[in-house]
Structure 1
Amino acid sequence: MTKHKIYTMSFASVYPHYVKKAEKKGRTKSEVDEIIRWLTGYDQEGLETQLQKETDFETFFEEAPGLNPSRTMIKGVICGVRVEDIEEPTMQEIRYLDKLIDELAKGKAMEKILRK
């Protein structure tokens, strides 16, 4: 089976779009970073290293220090698909992140986004 194109895309090439989407709605880059760190377990230095290395999405999630166990509480539709129904693990992680960024851009409180 052929890998989905997003797996080989550089995380660093999509990251500015996450930030732009958030900032357009009055949110901040630091909030985007907090979401990514919460989801993946990277610290800020680790996140910046991955961005500098232009790591692809697949590697970004494979090398994540500790995927947050609470991420399974993320529910809803992204790109017309329910995130909880995605069977391929890497795609599900990518869509979890997309969903969290969407929630941020929609003005949801960080406490709710981070499932506290």
Structure 2
Amino acid sequence: MAPHKVYKMSVANVYPHYVKKAEKKGRTKEEVDEIIRWLTGYSQEELAQILEDGTDFETFFEKAPHLNPSRTLIKGVICGVRVEEIEEPTMREIRYLDKLIDELAKGKKMEKILRG
């Protein structure tokens, strides 16, 4: 089976959509970055480099310094699929990020989003 197209998509191509979605609802780019850093363990400088380099999603998650163990607490539906039921690891990581950005745009408090 061919890998999903999203795996080879550049994080930099999707990132502005995350920021726009958040900002439309009164949230900030800084909050989007905080979510990404929490989920992956990348520093702000590393995230900036990834966006500049055009790193794809598959590599982004494969090379993540520290995938947050609390990410398994992320539950719910994204794109019509329950996140906790996604078996393919890379797709599950991508959907975790999508779900967190959705929660941010829906006005959830950061401590709740970051499973604190």
Q: Counterparts of 1:1-116 in structure 2 under 5 Å?
A: 1-116=1-116
1:51-75: CA deviation from partner (whole Å, max 9, x where unpaired): 0100000000011000000000000
CA distance in 1, matches of 2:61, 2:6: 12
Segments ≥4 residues shifted beyond 3 Å: none
Amino acid across the alignment from 2:112 = K
Q: Under a length normalisation based on structure 2, what TM-score does the superposition of the two structures give?
A: 0.99
Aligned sequence identity (%):
81
In structure 2, C-alpha distance between the alignment counterparts of 1:13 and 1:93, rounded to whole Å? 17
**TM-score normalised by the chain length of structure 1:** 0.99
Unaligned runs of 5+ in 2: none
Which ranges in structure 1 are unaligned for 5 or more consecutive residues?
none
Q: 2: CA distance between counterparts of 1:67 and 1:3?
A: 22
Alpha-carbon distance, 1:43 to partner: 0.5
Write the distance in 1 (CA, Å) between the matches of 2:87 and 2:12. Answer: 25
CA distance in 1, matches of 2:67, 2:49: 17
Q: Distance in 2 between matches of 1:43 and 1:60?
A: 13
How many pairs were matched up?
A: 116
RMSD value over aligned CA atoms? Answer: 0.3
Question: Quick one: which amino acid aligns to residue 107 of structure 2?
Answer: G
